[in-house]
Amino acid sequence: MRTSIGGVSVQATILLATFALEPRRYKAIYYSLQGKQTISNLFASHEYGLLDQFHLYPKLKWNDYQAALSQLEKEKLVIIDQTRAEAKLTSAGLVRQTGLLAQGFWPTAYRYWQMGPAEEQWERLLLAVQVVSNYQHQIVHYQPLTEHLLIQRQVKAWLKKIGTAGGQNFVLELGLALAQLPEQAALIIANSFWSDYDAGIPGPTLAQALSLTPAELQLAQFNSLGLLLSLIRRETLRYPILQQLLPMPQTPLNRSADWTYHQVLTGKSWSAIVTDSRLKEGTLREHLLQAALLCPDFSIEAPAVQQLLKADPESFFSQRVQEIITARSSRTGGEQTQ
């Protein structure tokens, strides 16, 4: 079965990557993939190991998601508990999931909070290649690969900033970067520049060569893009033009949460932050929980955080912060997060 997810026809089995043998709240997974940023959804994403894939399918429709789950249940790949609103893999579902993930299409290298929306970054890269290529071949009239007006304006501003010589350097930088990526990632990105497109869906040639469906290929492209973004972020001086084209968020937090966390980092007391913000304390605590979840270097030793932890060690806030820090420390071999 195929249904529409994120504007792309996708087989229901792709959703197997988001489930496990233990029951998971399927609505939480839906809201995570769609990008609904609430504390509840963020914690569910964290618990399920899906935090990096948050906002993976921003156009996902609830009816399409339900139809996909029903198909998975019909094929005996998942068991759905309607009363508890949970779903879990069957043994057959686990086998199918393992086989799918072995194909390497699931975007494990893409980190939404550090890299921004994958779909927008991808469209920005494709449009830049199209525009620079057409300019070099003196092609004036053509249909842009994206109808996203903001991305069109961003690429136009980028071209104006880098100038004619910058276009040549962009090609050189991109070639150098692709040469440093794993072979399949470089192949996926490079071939996408020349694939035939129909309503934004990659053509079948590369997908067939990799034994992927068009929907799986799109996720493989995002994974390859994540590897590219990680590379240009590590080697800043070698890829200045690519970094200008593909900027990454300065913070994973929204404006309000970023303000709160910045106040914490300045060393202010909790009472001072509450007074200055004029927000409810519960809202401010949620801001700090977001920071604990999304900022790898969350400062648990900050005075305001320590004040909250010591004031009520058994509170929801204190328990969740400690859980996050403990989980993060275990993933980094016990390295203390500060």
Low-confidence stretches of the chain (pLDDT < 50) are 1-9, 196-203, 334-338
* Tally of CB atoms within 10 A around 43: 17
Confidence (pTM): 0.86
CA distance 108 to 93: 20
> What percentage of the chain exceeds 70 in pLDDT?
91
Q: What are 286's strand-pairing partners?
A: none
In 3D space, the residue among 244, 277, 272, 271 whose CA is nearest the CA of residue 258 turns out to be 277
Residue 204: its pLDDT value, please?
56
Q: What would the pLDDT profile of 275-306 be if each residue is shown by its tens digit?
A: 999 899 999 999 999 999 999 899 999 999 99
Residue 199: its pLDDT value, please?
41
Residue 185: its pLDDT value, please?
96
Q: Which residues contact 156 (CB under 8 A, 6 or more apart)?
A: none
Residue 326: its pLDDT value, please?
86
In 3D space, the residue among 131, 129, 48, 104 whose CA is nearest the CA of residue 222 turns out to be 104
CA distance 241 to 162: 7
Q: What are 8's strand-pairing partners?
A: 5
Q: What would the pLDDT profile of 98-131 be if each residue is shown by its tens digit?
A: 999 999 999 999 999 999 999 999 999 999 999 9
Residue 208: its pLDDT value, please?
85
Q: What would the pLDDT profile of 162-191 be if each residue is shown by its tens digit?
A: 988 899 999 999 999 999 999 999 999 999
